[in-house]
Structures are given as structure tokens and as C-alpha cells.
Structure 1
Amino acid sequence: MSTVALQAKALLIRAVECDQSGRILEAQTLYQDGISQLMDFVSDEPDEGKRKGFLVRIKEYMDRANAIKARINGRLALGEVVFHLSIEDNDTNCDYDQLFGKYMTDQTVEILIEEPHLTKNFQYQNLIRFLELAVTNCKDLKYLLLVTKKDVEDFDKQRTNMGQIKADLERRQITLYIKYEDTLHDRKIYLSNGYIIKIGRGLDIYKASNPMYSIGLTNYKYRKCKQTDVDIWRTSHTAGK
């Protein structure tokens, strides 16, 4: 069996393992990548019989992937609001931990982050602040799926920055998968323990420290905020329900 086929097989085996252990975000990604690689291999297979056999297997994995997609869509369906806060312009005491830290628990093993705009330094800093909270509160976190838009002005810089974040998380045994969707508009964070965080501005809720060297430079509970709304939803799949 070729190297490509072996790599596809390894991805699909891991996908099944993640599926069975409840890590459905990671399973979906692995199914997609494994099926794609297997399709590339099959397209070059000269033996008609072998090709038909592979296509049967691919169909089975595609059915699994579609079932995973349906489960994810079901879990992303909003349930009931358990927390609402209207943040007014220049409000303080709105650090991420204060807003939603208590919902990020040990039962969170996967996180989906939909954040359209990650191109400016302060936007990366906001992402890092959130990831620091995730690493601190979610002791068993294994997988992060980040969906964002490409930086049309400097995609190379964006890939470099994302690569640094990805490598740092890997050193902590956390996998980061980055997906670029140019039509992405909505902002939300899905926690696998069943909570969904929706912020009108996404992670971009803070004003610049002014003057720069003032209280709030590093401790964001003192940082002035932009006007926005924060809603925490609890889905029917909330862990422990």
C-alpha cells in the first residue's frame, strides 16, 4: 500500500477513535482529511476491482462523516440563555474569566472558535488571552477548531502567527486546526461541555490602553470595553444534564 494510502488509513483510524470517545470536532476534521487523501489515492489506482473496493470504504467513511456533521449541527443549536450582559461603552470588570470563565470546565475537551477577524496584533493578543483561560480552566482540553477569514493583505504573516500558536499548543498536547472561510461573519465559541458563548464583537471587546502605560495594560479587568452584548447559551447536550 502506498504512503498516501497508509496516511489516509491512519487518519481514518484516528477519526473513528475520536468519534467513539466523543471528540466529534476532531473526528470531523480527521474524516475530511482522511477521505480527501484516500480519494486522491483511488483516482490513480489502475486496478478497477481495487478501486471499487476503496470506493465502498470511502462511502462508509463519508456516511460516518455526515453523521458527525449532523451531530455537530445538533449541538450547535441554541437552547436556553443562562447568562446575559450588556456591556456599555467604557465599562470595566469584563475580563474573559469574569464573563465566562466558570463555564469553561474540566468537561470541556474540545472548543470551536468562530472569529472572523484575526489580522491585527491586538486581535491575536485577544485570542491568546482566551487560549490562556482555556488552558487554565479546561484541564482535559485536547482539540481546538479555529475558523477565521484569510488576511487578504498579508496571509503569509497570518499563517506564521497561527503556526506559532499551533506549535505552542502542540507542546501542551492540544491540537489546533485552522480553517479559513472568507464568508464567515458570525462570532461564537462552542464548548464541548454544552455551552455556547456569543459576543456581538467576538473576542474584540477591549479598547486600547490609553495611555499605554496605565492600569489595564496587562490586567484586562481594568481595561475599558467597547459596547457589546454577551450571551451564554446552554444546549440540550450540556454535560451533566
Structure 2
Amino acid sequence: MAEGAAAAAMLRRAVELDAASRFPEALLCYQEGIDLLLHLLKGTKDETKKSHYRQKISDYMDRAEQIKKFLAQEKEDGKHHRQIKIEDNATGFGYESLFRRYLTEAVTEVWVEDPYVRHVHQPPRRSDFFQLYNFLRFCEMLIKRPGRVKTIHLLTSEDEDRGKDLQASGLEEIRQSLGKHGVVLEIRYSPSIHDREIRFNSGWVIKIGRGLDYFKKPQGRFSLGFCDLDLRPCHETTVDIFHAEHTKKI
């Protein structure tokens, strides 16, 4: 009974750590819990219990192997720097196509630094809000892949004159909408922000020359690319992707 309680407690802890994206610790708890279950399996003659233990061992071993592969890939990826040159009018570079490789289940927190998450022209019109729409689309992608993101930090510059209120109301609407999905949006403004950068708490850093606004305006509201960013022509820009672990070595 004591061994059974110890195994259950260890595996409960593994699942909790797994859900919190604390994968190295979760892997150790899974391994210890599995060892305890194997010991229980050897010591029982009850066929029903044996079947139960075998199924549990198989399930936890599968999850432990998934985590082991994920951690190995993260370690390998951390050695590399990838650069993508997006040509003028190129298509196929929507946010999901660009970021999905790096949006693993380890990503729970995201930082976006972009000075132009606002509208462009004065006087403001509905069609001027493409930067805000781009940020909204980026947020939509984050909560879909793979659904573990809990906090998004936005650092941008404050718009001027009439655009200031419209920028604030647009971002507040996005914040409230994200809140309904259990995601917190923290917004800060800086008058001196210049660099554009996106960071994931898994260690990945993405620098895009034009920030999130590297798409050209669609030719019309009913033209291809208006909704699907993979079909939207892009401005020429460069994307640099690297891991924080890599920056410590150079």
C-alpha cells in the first residue's frame, strides 16, 4: 500500500509539473513514478492489477519519451541561428508559417516589442488599423498553438493626437478578448522604443526588420490575402531567429 501511494503521489507531481511546462522536473518524476510502478508489477500476482499497472506504465512511458525528445530537440535547436530573407511581394509568410516551429508546449509567456502597434494615417479611418489587426492575428495564433500561452507582454509607442484614444481602445478590446480565453495582456508604452523583437519564454528570440507589420495592404476587402496572411504579399524584410542559449556563447 505504501509503495502504491508513493507511486501515485510521484506521478501526480509529474503531471502537475508537466502541465506547468516544467519539463525537466516532470521527466524525473515520471521516471521515478514508473520505477515504483514496475516494482509493484513484479510484486503482485493479481492479473487485474497487473493489467492496470502495465497500462499505466505504458501511458507514462509514452509521455516521458515525448518530453525526452522535446528536451533533446530544444537543446539541439539552441545551437543554431536561422535567418530568413523575405523578398518583396513574396507570399507564404503568415504568422503561423513563420512561428509555428517555435511555438511548442513549453511556451507560456510571450514578449512583443514593436513601436508601431497602432494605426498610421491621420485622420484615422477603419482601414488604418492594420497594425492593430496584425497584433490581433498574432495573438489569435498564440492561443491556438498549442494553447498553453497565459501571458503576453506588449511594449509599443503611444500614438499621437486623435490616434492615441483609438489605439488605447483597440488594445483594450484585444486585452478583454484575450482575458476571456484565460490569457493576460500586459501593455506598456515607451517613447524611445525602436527595436522590434519577439521573445518566447522557451528561449527563442525572433527579430523582424519591420516588426509584425511586414505585410502589404490587401488590394481590396474581397481579395485573396485579406483574411489569410499566407496569401498576403510581403514587404522585403529579414527575420533572424535564434535561441537565448546561443547568445551566451557568442
- TM-score normalised by L of structure 1: 0.63
Structure 1 segments unaligned to the other structure (5+ residues): 1-20, 24-78
Instruction: Give the structure with higher Rg (CA).
Output: 2
Letter in 2 for 1:124: L
Structure 2 segments unaligned to the other structure (5+ residues): 1-19, 23-77, 120-128
Query: Residue 159 of structure 2 aligns with which residue?
Result: 151
Task: Provide the rounded CA distance (Å) in 2 between the counterparts of 1:141 and 1:187.
Answer: 21
Give the C-alpha shift of residue 83 in structure 1. Answer: 2.0
Could you list the per-position Cα deviations for residues 61-92 of structure 1 after superposition, in whole angstroms to 9, with x for gaps in the alignment? xxxxxxxxxxxxxxxxxx75532111111111
Query: Residue 123 of structure 1 aligns with which residue?
Result: 131
Q: How many residues align?
A: 163
Tell me the SS of whatever aligns to 1:102.
coil
Give the C-alpha shift of residue 22 in structure 1. Answer: 9.5
Query: Residue 95 of structure 2 aligns with which residue?
Result: 96
Query: Residue 87 of structure 1 aligns with which residue?
Result: 86
Q: Aligned runs of 1:26-175 on 2, under 5 Å?
A: 81-120=80-119, 121-153=129-161, 154-175=163-184
Could you list the per-position Cα deviations for residues 194-236 of structure 1 after superposition, in whole angstroms to 9, with x for gaps in the alignment? 1011100000111111244222121111111000001111121
Task: Provide the rounded CA distance (Å) in 1 between the counterparts of 2:94 and 2:186.
Answer: 26
Tell me the SS of whatever aligns to 1:202.
coil
Cα 1:22/1:107, change in 2 over 3 Å: closer
The answer as to whether partners of 2:21 and 2:106 remain within 8 angstroms in 1 is no
List structure 1 runs of 4+ shifted beyond 6 angstroms. none
Task: Provide the rounded CA distance (Å) in 2 between the counterparts of 1:184 and 1:138.
Answer: 30
Cα 1:108/1:82, change in 2 over 3 Å: same
Residue among 200, 205, 210 paired with 2:214: 205
Task: Provide the rounded CA distance (Å) in 1 between the counterparts of 2:220 and 2:178.
Answer: 32
Letter in 1 for 2:101: K
Query: Residue 68 of structure 2 aligns with which residue?
Result: none
The answer as to whether partners of 1:194 and 1:237 remain within 8 angstroms in 2 is no
Letter in 2 for 1:145: H
Query: Residue 8 of structure 1 aligns with which residue?
Result: none
Task: Provide the rounded CA distance (Å) in 2 between the counterparts of 1:229 and 1:103.
Answer: 17
Give the C-alpha shift of residue 138 in structure 1. Answer: 3.8
Task: Provide the rounded CA distance (Å) in 2 between the counterparts of 1:191 and 1:237.
Answer: 14
Tell me the SS of whatever aligns to 1:103.
coil
The answer as to whether partners of 1:196 and 1:233 remain within 8 angstroms in 2 is yes
Query: Residue 67 of structure 1 aligns with which residue?
Result: none
Could you list the per-position Cα deviations for residues 142-174 of structure 1 after superposition, in whole angstroms to 9, with x for gaps in the alignment? 111100000112222111111111111111111
Tell me the SS of whatever aligns to 1:225.
coil
Tell me the SS of whatever aligns to 2:224.
coil
- TM-score normalised by L of structure 2: 0.61
Task: Provide the rounded CA distance (Å) in 2 between the counterparts of 1:212 and 1:22.
Answer: 40
